[in-house]
Amino acid sequence: MLVAMTPDLLLQSEHIAQTGLPDLTQPQYLNQLADRLPLALAIFALLAIGLGAGMALFNFSLRNYPPNVVIGDWVMQSAQLMRGLQQIFLVTAIVLLGFGLCSTLANRQSNWEQARVAQKTPTLAAGELIQQSSPQVSYITQEPFTYTTQLDGKLVKVQDKRDVTRQSSVSGSNLQVTISPLKTNTSNSNNFTLDFRGDYQITNPIGTTNRFVFQIAPPTGYSLLQNFEVERNGKKLASTSPGEYRFPLQIAPGSISKLRVNYRAQGSPQWVYSAKAGSLDNFRMTIASSVPRLNFVSDVAPTKTTTNGDRQTFTWAFDRDASVQKPFGVAIGAPVAAQTGTLPLLLLLAPGIFGWWMLLLCLSIPMRLQDIAISGLAFFAGMFALTYFSRIGDFVSVWSGVSIVLLLLVWGLGRGNWRIALAAIISTLVGAVIPIYSFSIAEGSSVNGTRGMVLSAVALLSVFWLVARNWYDWYRLEPSERPLPERSHSEPEAIFTRHDLLEESAKYNQLNPGSPTQEEIERRRLRDEGIENK
């Protein structure tokens, strides 16, 4: 499996290196690891020498201590302390190595999730933007003017009237824009259609003229424009000259005229409306689209945003005298995955979850060093499998399968004792399985604290289990129920009966201080059989 995943682990490493997390496939991190390796080995050697010396002193004192309760208790506590130091050292080493593995997997998973989302929405080049400008309205009126001319050799002032064009604005706008992807050639970034329908209202507040001109330019930035037309009362208007898009109107003084502009454009799904620094009166614009990652642009936030499944609707509404300096509308934002990032977060927290699980196991059942090492390999192999199998399956289903395998493996910690095996299963459920299941909760629920409440409940269950196990003796394991050490075929059977003899001897001395201890009886029997010093 590791060989099969190697090409994927080496994919797009230049982007992942920028995250700042340790990545075992990056040369710079490998160089840093190589620089710090001598110091780590020196610390490891000192710890190993210290632990070895402590164990040697312990074994030496074990051979010669007298049958004294105080000495026996001290020896037993020293043995437990040495065993605990070894376990702590091994768990720490596994956590550090696991963090390197999990951070590498988290980088790869995050990059894969973002690439998957980016595939659903084509990457658009800079400048791929369709922009529609607001229309301009003007009216023609006659104004008096005076000019001087020469008549019969004399200069004469003449009073006359001439046509003057004055600028006005629309008194109301209602725009409907629908953006939808085409069903063919999905790899093309311009593979979107845009249906525009704009209803404009023009009021004639001037009682001296009825001649108006409505001018609207087609959008810019499109790749194809179709059916661009201006209608009045259902009739298509003709422009004064081709290419100018100027439409003369006759509007009676004090009356209102309504115009509709329609067109269909093909190109980028990014569309904005420009008011050209003019005022917007009774303005309303609605943009509906099912394009992923579409959001409003500029500083003009929509008045209302609604979502219905995959369809989003953005609405801007201004009552009167609204001045907008910048174009506003919708555009595709950065490729950020919705409902992603859960698994990378879990991978970063996995070493901590493993440490919590090991704490529960070590405080619940007898754990040998090889048990801790095997448990660490099983846990991080499960995280490795969860990372890659979740790409082809559901997170809950994949972790359910991994959990079943992990629980079957943990059952073997009992080594034939079902009470120890059941304690290991309980510790695994509250220490590893359920905490990882909590990460399957949706992001929207986690905002409300659901995931945190689940993790808090699991922590309380773990504490309750440890208290019941160690303080109230509700699930007490007697020394006779503890598994014996692994035996060697060359050693006699009698030597293995000394397992947990110190604990049994101390307990027996407390109950029968005047009687010979179990250790003394065993020593005498071994001496009589002649195998004590072999």
- Which alpha helices (H) appear in 390-449, and where do they start and end? 395-411, 418-428, 434-437, 443-447
Question: Which element (helix H / strand E) includes 284?
Answer: strand 283-289
Residues 483-501, mean pLDDT to the nearest whole number: 41
Question: Cα–Cα distances in Å, from 428 out to 102, 228, 356, 375?
Answer: 20, 68, 10, 10
Closest CA to 373 of 141, 187, 98: 98
Residues 394-400, mean pLDDT to the nearest whole number: 89
d(CA 485, CA 335): 56
pLDDT class of 129 with cuts at 50, 70, 90: confident
d(CA 293, CA 385): 30
pLDDT class of 73 with cuts at 50, 70, 90: low
In a 10 Å sphere around its CB, with 0-12 CB exposed, 13-18 middle and 19+ buried, how is residue 335 labelled? Answer: middle
509 or 360: whose pLDDT is higher? 360
Whole-model pTM over 0.75: no
Report CA torsion sign: 70, 75, 80, 86: positive
Q: What's residue 185's pLDDT?
A: 53
Least confident span in 187-191, 239-243, 355-359, 481-485: 481-485
Q: Cβ distance 282 to 239 under 8 Å?
A: no
Q: Cβ distance 207 to 317 under 8 Å?
A: no
Least confident span in 125-134, 180-189, 228-237, 490-499: 490-499
Closest CA to 433 of 514, 369, 350, 528: 350
Does the structure show a pLDDT above 80 at 302?
Answer: yes
Residues 203-210, mean pLDDT to the nearest whole number: 79
Closest CA to 103 of 92, 91, 95: 95
Does the structure show a pLDDT above 50 at 398?
Answer: yes
Residues 311-334, mean pLDDT to the nearest whole number: 81
Question: Which element (helix H / strand E) includes 299?
Answer: none
488 or 303: whose pLDDT is higher? 303
- Could you give the percent of the chain with pLDDT greater than 90? 14
Please report where in the chains the tokens 């093909």 appear, as a residue: 266
Does the structure show a pLDDT above 60 at 388?
Answer: yes
The domain limits of the chain are: 14-120+341-472, 129-334
Closest CA to 54 of 77, 20, 70: 77
State the average pLDDT for the chain: 75
The architecture that CATH gives domain 129-334 is Sandwich (2.60)
Residues 464-470, mean pLDDT to the nearest whole number: 84
How many residues appear in the chain? 534
d(CA 337, CA 172): 39
Q: What's residue 59's pLDDT?
A: 64
Q: What's residue 451's pLDDT?
A: 74
Residues 283-302, mean pLDDT to the nearest whole number: 83
Q: What's residue 198's pLDDT?
A: 94
Q: What tens digit of pLDDT does each residue of 347-366 get?
A: 888 898 998 999 898 888 88
Residues 322-344, mean pLDDT to the nearest whole number: 69
Does the structure show a pLDDT above 70 at 31?
Answer: no
d(CA 98, CA 383): 10
Does the structure show a pLDDT above 60 at 400?
Answer: yes
Does the structure show a pLDDT above 50 at 511?
Answer: no
Does the structure show a pLDDT above 80 at 228?
Answer: yes
Q: Cβ distance 103 to 22 under 8 Å?
A: yes
Report CA torsion sign: 497, 502, 503, 507: positive
Closest CA to 146 of 133, 129, 162: 162
Alpha-carbon Rg for the chain, nearest whole angstrom, is 41
Closest CA to 326 of 300, 296, 304, 303: 300
φ/ψ (deg, to 5) at 408: -65, -40
